[in-house]
Chain A
Amino acid sequence: MTLTPKTNPKPKVAVYKFSSCDGCQLSILNLEDELLDLASAVDIAYFLEATRTVKSGPYDIGIVEGSITTPHELERIKEVRAECKFLIALGTCATAGGIQALRNFTKASELADKVYAHPEYLQYLDTSTSISDNVPVDLVIWGCPVNKATVLEALSALLMGRRVNFPPSPVCLECKRRGTVCVVVSQGIPCMGPVVHGGCGALCPSNGRGCYGCFGPSSTANFNSLVNILLPLERFPGESLLLIRNFSGYAPAFRKAAELVLKAATEKESK
């Protein structure tokens, strides 16, 4: 999308929340050095976490945090799509269903029974799904939480009418660039780095632990290879599956990877 500054000097921006922890919206408020400039470059028309002023749509840019987990959200996201010209799915809940998508691998009703005395009071869907599973999305930004610099890049690009420049390489390469010694090779720690979208700056490996995949699958991932590496490194039974079925577990590529792990486990048993 190009927002032509001449016809629309201040694009109207709306920020919405669905099922989530608020951390990605907070990443916008955490742009301490840029927030006031940003607020003068765009018209923040709807952003309940920041302001009680609500200007009616349509909006030029919609930013959606969270996943779709209730019948009400299912309806609301359609209204949001209809009132936004350009829709951004912000963070791993919006792009893959988030941690609450763990319900998709079990029965949501059983989880509800465990947590609530009166599950019959609740309204929820059996699955937690991404925004693009429900409506067309124009741009996805991965991360649990998103890296605020990525949000700024996306908005700057939209305002200037240029292409968005996101890191193209996986976490594994971010380690190489920053000179972090590989935790798999040097310490035998299971790590999702080779198959996970870059953008965090290889935070986990640089803190001496394996990547747990909160930025979702990279586009060039080789899951067969990953599974072959992960399985022999398991420190407790089932570690590989837990690592894959985590914050981005419902992303289609990770679902396939989980199947590979389950298949390998079945083969091992039959031998």
Chain B
Amino acid sequence: MKNIEIPALARVEGEGGLFIGIKDGKAVEIRLDIYEPPRFFEGFLVDRFLQEVPDITARICGICPVAYQMSSVAALEAALGIEVSAETYALRRLMYCGEFIESHSLHIYLLQAPDLLGVPSALDLAAIAPEVVKNALRMKKVGNEVLRAIGGRSVHPVNACVGGFYRWPDAGPLKATLPELEWALEAAKKTVKWSLTLPYPELELDYEFVAIHNNDEYGVMKGDVWSSKGSKLSVTDYETRYMEEHVQRSNALHSHMKGGGHYLVGPLARLNLNHEQLMPEALKALKDSKIELPLKNPYKSLIARAIELVNFYEEAIQLVKAYDPSGPAHIDLKLKAGEGCGMSEAPRGLLYHRYKIDEKGRVKFAKITPPTAQNLPRIEDDLLALAPQLVKMEQEQATLTAEHLVRSYDPCISCATHFLKLKVEEME
């Protein structure tokens, strides 16, 4: 068995490579190389006006721009000491449902399923199972349509601002998404059943799961940072426990906990910590699946995503039906100097922002901790745990299994650059 090297990882968002060094049949070195170029967002946000921030940070990631917009508006609203109306919050939540739908259906069917079904891509899957792919695209499309109805477009929507929305979106196009959302909810329930039949590689790991928890709803935007080891922190205390470090091989920062140790954010963490807050049909899908929680196999985050899909279609339907805005769409901002932190659950995990602003509303400091930066050290730990299995496999299968593991994290490498070629090499 030679070293495993994947020079460019496919079906992930962004760019990176993976190297596993083998000596005497044992993995001795794991290195996830991020070659996604640094773009310096936290640097050039300085001296921008606060209302520009959600538009600029959206450009960190084309797949989860809403997450960036929501974490930044939350942080900046905290800095100004304002709280948006319940109606604004509900519309933000609906927008987030749209992003979860679009991102999760893309990941489940177009990015991860090909690994489980032994095809190179969803396009190849379409040649053998066209209905599966057509349904997947239909499920994904309605998420994008919700985003379009609220924000004009699904990638980098334009309507969200600090204080609320520039305008209330017209109810017509939003309500028009209902029939497709209802179809997709049924399709998502079938997706959960199908997800239980897939041949996941065996790998059970002892993770510390970290996610936003809220007793009143499935944690996405509001709540505390909960860990499966019992830590419960408010957003303002996030940095007292979770920190980033710059490692040499990577343009991405790596997170760890104060005093050492790595943790996991994303769908497995959310489902394990927050399953009691799922919407009724999602909770039923979870119970019917007879999965034992906590789910500890990283490959099975696909199942968690599928259950979340049910949840977010369900919630989207409820929110679209209830949509009947009144009053101003946003708060008129009174500028003052301040500091604020904000967080939200991007589809791939917790996303934390902190800003300092001056009395004129100019950003003086920005800190952004994306989900993939938090998961990167955990991915390396997983690969090390997987290595004894990998070294027994043929090169091609080892490469695929390692790649699949990384892909199951739905890593967003553009976000974290601040990703993948697999190289397994026999070391001297």
- A residues with a Cβ closer than 8 A to B are 17-27, 29-30, 32-33, 35-36, 39, 44, 48-53, 69-70, 72-73, 98-100, 102-103, 106, 108, 110-112, 114-118, 121-122, 124, 128, 144-145, 147, 200-201, 203-204, 206-209, 212, 214, 236-239, 242, 246-247
Proximity bits, B19-61, A CB within 8 Å = 1, else 0:
0000000000000000101111111101011001001100111
**Inter-chain contacts of A23 with B (CB < 8 A):** 59, 61-63, 65, 155-156
Q: Could you mark each residue 141-153 of chain B with 1 if its beta carbon is under 8 Å from any beta carbon of chain A, else 0?
A: 1001000000111
User: Closest Cβ of chain A: how far from B87's Cβ, in Å?
Assistant: 17
A-B contact pairs, 25 of them (CB 8 A): A17-B14, A22-B414, A23-B156, A24-B62, A30-B140, A32-B141, A33-B137, A48-B11, A49-B12, A50-B123, A98-B59, A99-B44, A99-B56, A100-B44, A111-B43, A111-B44, A115-B41, A122-B38, A144-B59, A200-B153, A207-B158, A207-B159, A212-B52, A236-B49, A238-B49
Give Cα distance in the complex from A48 to B248, angstroms: 25
Interface size on B, residues (CB 8 A): 69
Instruction: Give chain B's interface residues, CB within 8 Å of chain A.
Output: 8-15, 35, 37-44, 46, 48-49, 52, 55-56, 59-63, 65, 106, 110, 114, 120-124, 126, 130, 133-134, 137-138, 140-141, 144, 151-156, 158-159, 161, 166-167, 245-248, 250-251, 253, 360-361, 403, 414, 418
Q: Which residues of A contact B123 (CB under 8 A)?
A: 36, 39, 44, 50-51
Task: Report which of A98, A124, A204 forms a contact with B158, defined as CB distance below 8 A.
Answer: A204
Q: Which chain B residue lies CB-closest to A145? A: B155
Contacts A20-B414, A36-B133; A30 near B155 (Cβ below 8 A): yes
**Contact of A69 with B246 in the complex, beta carbons under 8 Å:** no
Known: A23-B63, A116-B38, A145-B156. 7 other contacts (CB 8 A): A21-B61, A23-B62, A30-B140, A32-B141, A53-B121, A99-B39, A99-B59
Assembled-state Cα–Cα distance A154/B167 (Å)? 33
**Bound Cα distance from A221 to B307, whole angstroms:** 50
User: In the complex, are the beta carbons of A242 and B48 less than 8 A apart?
Assistant: yes
Q: Could you say which residues of chain B place their CB within 8 Å of the CB of A25? A: 62
Please give the distance in Å from B396's CB to the nearest CB on chain A.
Answer: 11
* Smallest CB separation, B341 vs chain A (Å): 18
Q: Within 8 Å CB of A30, what residues of B?
A: 140, 144, 154-155
- Shortest Cβ distance from A220 into chain B, in angstroms? 24
- Is B62 a contact partner of A21 (Cβ separation < 8 A)? yes
Known: A52-B11, A209-B158. A236 touches B152 (CB 8 A): no
CB-based contact B59/A21 at 8 Å = yes
User: Do the beta carbons of A239 and B40 come within 8 Å of each other?
Assistant: no
Judge whether B40 and A103 touch: CB under 8 Å: yes
Highest count of chain B CB atoms <10 Å: which of A115, A206, A237: A115
B251 neighbours in A (Cβ, 8 Å): 121-122
Across the interface, do A212 and B133 meet the contact criterion of CB distance under 8 Å? no
Verify A208–B39 contact, CB threshold 8 A. Answer: no
In the assembled complex, the CB of A237 is this many whole angstroms from the nearest CB of chain B, namely: 7
| B37 lies within 8 A of A69 (CB) | yes
